Amino acid sequence: ATDPLQAGFDTTIGHGDRIEPRDWMPDGYRRTLVRQIAQHAHSEIIGMQPEGAWIGRAPSLRRKAILLAKVQDEAGHGLYLYSACETLGVSRGELTEKLISGAQKYSSIFNYPTLSYADVGTIGWLVDGAAICNQVPLCRTSFGPYGRAMIRICKEESFHQRQGYELLMTMMQGTDEQRAMVQESVNRFWWPALMMFGPPDDESPNSAQSMAWGIKRNSNDDLRQRFVDMSVPQAAALGVTFPDPELRWNDERGHHDFGQPDWDEFMQVVKGNGPCNTQRIAHRRKAHEDGAWVREAATAYAAKQASVATA
Ligand code: FAQ
């Protein structure tokens, strides 16, 4: 006989309806969600660092205001996602420990350095662009709190993408040096942006089960293709090229053909050996430790209020 709880879950998933925190769910579904949502939250928080490094060196007050708003949004995204993850029975404290001990991952892209102000524009255009491609389908993910968090996040990511593109467009209308700076930045970020979608489908251990559960709605390769098709005309409008000799329109497929990123490099970065992995985690660990007194004071205050209330 089939388990009625499992059958109820399967029916909800089969109808494309949502699973909510108090509903019964298989352990594997819960584990996969904690893994993906935590990785996503950590990415937003670690993702503040590469661009945050330029806040004190923004070229004008206007650029500084835009960049500050953008980096603050990323903090907010991290917090919505940690909250969504907490509905699955893990605490934010536990998740933070797992990030700084290396037990949980964050996106490979944030282990690359930001070497010029053009990188702020390129991250907005390509990194937020890739994030939007990957995350718009996640608004329809099967777990309610995750999907609802994604709706708001995607709206903000659209602003991030526009501000990056507008920054690059402004630089492209400037001097030859500025144009060269944009092209150099795009050359460095193109391949790492393609890696954000994860390994190729036939090497993606989690995809089949995650798609069957409605956690992921599209495969890694499908979303990567969508991103390439979307980015090519934007690059043309901007006046930059992508560093891929195999990139060309394929009339038969109705899509662009493109080369493969260096998957060995991807594996190294994911394992912790990218250019900035050590620095990113050390920075996050220090911020967490420096904030210990705030957590202790808040806990002491809450305990005091509780004892006043019961007295
Ligand atoms: N980096 O079997 P799959 C942002 C891992 S956007 C590191 O295909 P899955 C916005 C994967 O975890 C970035 N690790 O895995 C922003 C798994 O390892 P595990 C965050 C990666 O989960 C912009 C293994 O490889 N976005 O933050 C990566 O089915 C600007 C095998 O892979 C999200 O997290 C990678 N690129 O598919 C912020 C979106 N790719 O855990 C600041 C939500 C794969 O088994 C500034 N996540 N791995 O040990 C997803 O859509 C999925 O988790 C994928 C991976 C598509 C990333």
Within 6 A (CB) of ligand 1 lie 35-36, 39-40, 43-44, 47, 74, 105, 107-108, 123, 127-128, 131, 134, 195-199, 204-207, 210, 216, 220, 270
Place of tokens 């920054």: 167
State residue 28's pLDDT score: 98
Handedness of CA 254, 257, 261, 262 (dihedral sign): positive
Rg of the chain over Cα atoms, rounded to whole angstroms, equals 21
Residue 272: how many other CB atoms lie within 10 Å: 12
Distance CA 235, CA 258 (A): 15
99 pLDDT band, cuts 50/70/90, is very high
Contact between residue 96 and residue 288 where contact means Cβ atoms under 8 Å apart: yes
The amino acid occupying position 197 is F
Token reading at 23: 């509903």
Q: What are phi and psi of 50, to 5 degrees?
A: -60, -40
pLDDT 10s digits, 293-305: 999 999 999 999 9
* Prediction ipTM score: 0.98
- Point out the ligand 1 atom lying closest to the alpha carbon of residue 39: 34
Assigned token pair, 264: 């060995």
- Determine which residue's CA is closest to atom 9 belonging to ligand 1: 206
Place of tokens 């609802």: 148
Nearest to 126, CA basis, from 234, 237, 247: 234
Residue 309 confidence (pLDDT):
85
Instruction: Identify the pLDDT of residue 1.
Output: 61
Q: For 162-217, what is each residue's pLDDT tens digit?
A: 999 999 999 999 999 999 999 999 999 999 999 999 999 999 999 999 999 999 99
